[in-house]
Amino acid sequence: MDFLNSQHLTSHDSFVHLFSDAGDFTYFASVSDYVQGKQGTITVQKAETAVGKGKQHEVVFHWDKSTRGFVPREEDMKKSIQTNDFVLFRFCRAEPGQPTCFILGHRGDKKVEFDSRHLRTQQAFMHFFLTAGEHSYRLGRGTYQVSVTDHRDLEVEEHQKRASQAVVIVVSGDQPSPKHANIVTGQTVIWAVEKGENVSIEDQPYKPGAAVSPPSVAR
């Protein structure tokens, strides 16, 4: 079964952060609050690009067995981007013994800019589903579901067609939309936070009929 938890990233996960402000930032991937991984820098230059029109950049980490830490690719150590560009942090192929991690970013003044454990507005968490079955996950106070159909249960063409589409679950507050996603193995789900703070996606043991939304709150 896939391990689905935005607070503990695996090689099947990615984290996206949109840089809306100019400045100098540092980032690293770490296995705990007490161990800092090798640090890279991102310089964001001011531009007139609108939100939603920025470019995608990538930072790829690999697990270094000798230092027992995550290290960015050499070409990702110093990145230069523009405001409203976004960076997708991901991983190379998993190495034996590779632990889960989180990604942390700071502004030049050491203020936390992003923390993949606590998703917020204009950030996203992605998971590539390899195994079929019913996946339940907790988001806020609700429990939601992703049903994954085995590719062997589909015609090859049908599977390839569906796998060539990414599924986006838009998170607003603690409400995902759609609440129940139907996908196939080999498909990536993107939980994109339109509005929210301290959001996380954490897998739950699947119980049929257990998917529930918290009661609506009048605002």
Partner 1 sequence: MDATIAVSEPGVNVVLHKAIALAHASKSDSATWGPFQVGYSASVALSGGVAVLENAPANKLDLNNVHVVGSVSAFFTFDLGLILPTICIPPVQVCVDIPFIGRVCTPQFCITWPSVHVPVSLPFAFDLSASFGFRVDDLGTQWGIVLLIDPFSARFDLTPMGPLIIAAIQNEVSNTLGSIPLIGGLIAGLVNTVIGAFSGVLTPILGAFGSLINLVLHCWTCLMSTFRSDCSPSIKSRRLYRRTLQ
* Contact call for residues 136 and 203 (beta carbons, < 8 A): yes
CB neighbour list of residue 37: distance below 8 Å, 6 or more residues apart:
28, 29, 30, 31, 61, 69, 70, 71, 101
**How far apart are the C-alpha atoms of 4 and 210, rounded to whole Å?**
17
> Which range in 45-53, 99-107, 136-144, 201-209 contacts partner 1 by CB under 8 A?
45-53
Contact pick of 66, 109, 111, 164 for partner 1 (by CB under 8 A):
164
**Binding string to partner 1 for residues 77 to 106, with x set by CB under 8 A, is what?**
-------xxx-x-x-xxx------------
CA of 209: how far to CAs of 18, 31, 139, 184, 206, in Å? 36, 34, 16, 20, 9
156 is an interface residue for partner 1 by CB under 8 A: yes
- C-beta closer to partner 1: residue 93 or 110: 93
**How far apart are the C-alpha atoms of 165 and 185, rounded to whole Å?**
12
73 is an interface residue for partner 1 by CB under 8 A: no
Binding site for partner 1 (CB under 8 A): 11-12, 14, 16, 18, 51-56, 58, 84-86, 88, 90, 92-94, 121-122, 124, 126, 128, 130-131, 151-152, 156, 159-160, 163-166, 168, 170, 184-186, 188, 190, 192, 194
